[in-house]
Chain A
Amino acid sequence: MKENDPLISELANIVGSEHVITDPTSLSVYECDGATVFKALPDVVVFPTTAQDISEIVKIANKHNVPFVARGAGTGLSGGMLPVSGGIIIALNRMNRILEIDIANQQAVVEPGVVNLGLTQAVQDDGYYYAPDPSSQQACSIGGNIAENSGGPHTLKYGVTSNHVLGLEVVLTDGEIVEFGGAVEETPGYDIRGVMIGSEGTFGIVTKAVVRLLRKPEGYQTLLGIFETIDEASNVVSSIIAKGIIPAALEMMDHFVIKAVEEAFHWGFPLDAGAVLIVELDGIKAGMQQQAEQITEIFNENNCRETRYAKDEADRQQIWKSRKSAFGSFGRLAPNYITQDGVVPRTQLPKVLRRVAEISEKYDIPIANVFHAGDGNIHPIVLFDERDSDQCERVEAVNMEILSACAEAGGTITGEHGIGVEKMDYMPLIFSPEDLAVMATVKAIFNPSGLCNPGKIFPTAESYAKLGR
């Protein structure tokens, strides 16, 4: 698109031409998110600083009948911010201020571009933190978290983003600025805040959020267990929950991931281990030791090779770093990877993980597993080389079979990464045409022109054909 295009000059009038990108080289930075196999170039990227700016940008987009999509940090794993039909990317990097920290009311007001971890860092000296902690929290934005209803390792005990957002300011798809919810726990009427969260940027653009802050727990106990097999580790997960213990986090890595992580970062994991479990307890120190002992017992009953305890905060941070850096090591395993995100009932974990291994073998596509075991939220990392078209075809079959297995086990096809473009085709595995019709009806209320983040979430005729329906 040319600089003298009326659309571009109108956008430049709002944010200043230095905050508008149109040259192809710079645009290519914005052609994908963390799911790098999906690519699409926007025509223009704008960097607004206020809700008012965004409102005007949206009105211009409507006037010119051009699609627009919000972009936070671009760490999404389902192609949510992908400008599939070109148009405007509204990048929120400059809207990154924490507007208010209200410790007495245990809440903060933030702009959407605030980095997740940045909020916790801003309040930690007061003894507080922001609970939803995606593994990408050093980079991802709160706006992106809201759009995807993101989770993280500590979702098990503390819930997902939706449980921690009280109010939203949103620029609707016609440019109107409206608030939903607020600084109090409940407001009368339909919970539009709740519907907005997880709508993957298709209902409007979040320009401000009131979020809860939690008091930092008095203490932590972090245990790391090394197991011979995935099966044993999965049994531990069910046994802990069945004992009535809800840890703050319960994470698993398989031998593939252990090896990759070990070779990249040298944490001291045995290279021949079948699985590593990280279990964290948090809360009041009194009584915690007993729970840790119960967990150690469950470890031992399941043939645990070795149990390590974080002896201090530095140790604990090390353990978490090894978990959260796992993704950084996959580059060593293959040129490309897709992270699947199915959820199954906890008791189905061993069965479904065995199935994933079979699928990997059947198609000769390596799959690594690092995931939120306590929630039954698996992340099979499907490793491949996108330059090999035969592999790509097999990868598609792998994705389909994994997600079908999750659906058949009574689960779902995404626990935290969203549908985006990546899983549209698989929606019919869990939703009937009638279920999807209600979603389409609600979408039409919020986004009647369809210009806001088009081409996402809903299966197409082609999707049904692929599924043989």
Chain B
Amino acid sequence: MPNSNQLHEDLIQIVGEAGLLLRSENLQPDDQRSCYTIDGIGPRAVVLPASIHEIQEVLGYAADSKLSVIPAGSGTKLGIGNSPEQVDLVLSTSRLDQVLEYEPADLTVTVEAGIPLAVLQAKLAEHGQYLPLDPPYTDRCTIGGMTATNSSGPSRLRYGSTRDCVLGMRVVQSSGTVVKSGGKVVKNVAGYDLNKLYLGSFGTLGIITEVSLKLQPLPEIERSVFLTFTEIGEAVNVASEIARSQLLPTFLNLFVNGAPLTESPEPCLLIGVDGHPETVEWQIDAVKTIAKQNGAIGVEVYEGQRQQELHASMCAFPEGESAAPIVISRANLRMTDVAGFVNTVVEVNDASTWQVRAMGLMGNGIVYVAFSDFPDGDVPMQYVADTVANLRDAATNVGGNLIVESAPTALKRQIDVWGPVGRSFELMKAIKAKLDPIGLLNVGRFVGGI
């Protein structure tokens, strides 16, 4: 393995000065490199290739020098996964940030993977279109990162996750071979649907360099209805009634122990509606009627700037200082199991010295649980690990699962962040072994240590 100076020189040969960020022992928090630090481990180097050719060269160099490679976009979701043993190279696509093909009337776009979602949205908005995804870090995340993690946000209720928007991609395999999957048109069943393999593979199967996406016209208007309740049960009832109704909400989110932009501790339901003004008005009225029948104590309709702030803050759940220790888990459940799971969350909160908050995507059966405000900033590791295990049991007992998306490193080392995968694991292992035979990419960080 090359020493630091050698590494520096070698990599500059490939990507030039501008394509390299070197590891420094004491990173300032605002240092660009800090976002590529994984579980407290700074990479030996962050490389930012400016072309597919440079990516191939970097991969070849890494393979020859026995360096591990962690693919990245802007680094917002690098923390998801098992703690790495060591981090040699972080390979970021952030210099590959161009729109390659955009014909608005086709309602599709092809971009380089490193383009930030926000930049793309601005370009699409000029033509009255958008990519209907609102994942965490909407302001910073890249399309490549969203694809690799199959990101989604509250609006997945109406518009789905990244999986539902990706039409095709170009991927550099660890061998350096460039391959494509899917295509650029909205329907395509030629050959195997390998898009699905790369989506949500967390950088373990290749470097995604190009993505083709299906777009939506921007809705004419957007509104959010904010409902407050005294009892969680009432909020859950309203949510299931809306889910069963003719309404087509963009999101349907339950908040327990704190909602975005309010101090109110009561359980809240935040419902998004968009589209034609008449459709939106009709839905708001219908929501109000259902809410009143079910004991809502507060009903507010948000629009304009305020509605956008509310939406953004919801996507960023749980808000908080990034420096504070925090544990974020995500449970995937059937819709009818959410109420029971939320009760468990409340019990956990009552029994904990820290704060437990939850955001439930009620139409999707997804519940995010955040532990924060640990007294004196101290995380009682064993106790928290046991609590996570209890929550996971609550999810798996009803056929669901629970993934820990963010946690202090010490905690991550005590728990299995992904949880069990069952009998399909053998196939997953084989896929990794065949598509990354030299074991170069993000090794050990995915399910079962893949």
Contact = CB atoms under 8 A, between A and B. Distances in A.
Contact of B403 (A188, A375, A419, A432): A188
Contacts of B173: 438
A182 B195 CA distance: 20
Interface residues of A, number: 89
A275 interface: no
B188 A217 contact: no
B189 A148 contact: yes
B183 A347 contact: no
A381 B167 CA distance: 26
B190 A179 contact: no
A215 B277 contact: no
A241 B107 contact: yes
A345 interface: yes
B127 to A, nearest CB: 9
Contacts of A438: 173, 179, 181, 194, 435
Contact of A439 (B106, B194, B199, B279): B194
A70 B364 CA distance: 33
A376 B424 contact: no
A407 B69 CA distance: 35
A307 to B, nearest CB: 21
Contacts of A242: 104-105
B201 to A, nearest CB: 6
Contacts of B335: 104-106
A287 B428 contact: no
Given A195-B197, A410-B184, A441-B435, A189 B446 contact: yes
Interface stretch (B299-307, B347-355, B415-423): B415-423
B365 interface: yes
Interface in A399-441: 410-419, 423, 427, 430-432, 434-439, 441
B2 interface: no
B375 interface: no
Interface in B294-335: 332-335
Interface stretch (A85-93, A158-166, A255-263): A158-166
B427 A192 contact: yes
Interface of B: 103-108, 128-129, 150, 160-161, 163-164, 173, 177-181, 183-197, 199-201, 216-218, 240, 243-248, 275-283, 332-336, 364-366, 399-401, 403, 418-419, 421-425, 427-428, 430-431, 434-435, 446-448
28 contacts: A106-B243, A149-B189, A149-B193, A159-B164, A180-B424, A184-B400, A184-B401, A186-B366, A188-B403, A188-B447, A189-B447, A190-B431, A194-B196, A242-B105, A286-B281, A291-B276, A343-B188, A345-B108, A345-B185, A372-B187, A415-B188, A415-B189, A419-B191, A432-B179, A435-B179, A438-B173, A438-B181, A444-B434
Interface of A: 102, 104-107, 148-149, 151, 155, 159-160, 162-163, 176, 178-180, 182-195, 197-199, 215, 217-218, 238, 241-246, 283-288, 290-291, 343-347, 372, 375-377, 410-419, 423, 427, 430-432, 434-439, 441-446, 457
The 5 closest A-B pairs by CB, nearest first: A194-B196, A244-B217, A287-B276, A287-B278, A286-B282
